[in-house]
Amino acid sequence: MLSTPYLLLTCGFIALLLIVSVISLWKHKKAGMGPIQLLGAAGIAHTDLDPDGAVLIKGELWKARSIDGTTIAAQQDVEVVRVEGLLLLVRR
């Protein structure tokens, strides 16, 4: 059977591993973007928006639509004007 010092050392080591694991997971957690953070955000058209397509905003891919119905070519800069649920309305 383990003596008290070894038992305490083992419990301390397990606690340390748990703390390091929690801190590591917490630091790498990606913060989501809500409507307030998206308004006015700059991004790049991932696909052609004719008028619907996809845009890349701060590393996240979003479904988007051109606000005025015009075509926006892929790789053009866009700005988020309005958020409707999970759809972003953007302009050049």
pLDDT digits (tens, 9 = 90+) for 21-80: 988 887 776 666 677 888 999 999 999 999 899 999 988 999 999 999 899 999 999 999
What is the three-class DSSP state of 68?
coil
What is the three-class DSSP state of 19?
helix
**DSSP letter string, 24-53:** HHHHTPPPP--HHHHTT-EEEESS-BSSEE
Given a cut of 60, is residue 15 above it in pLDDT? yes
Q: Which is nearest to 78 in space by CA: 29, 44, 49, 35? A: 44
Q: Which is nearest to 71 in space by CA: 87, 43, 90? A: 90
pLDDT digits (tens, 9 = 90+) for 69-92: 899 999 999 999 999 999 999 999
Whole-prediction pTM = 0.64
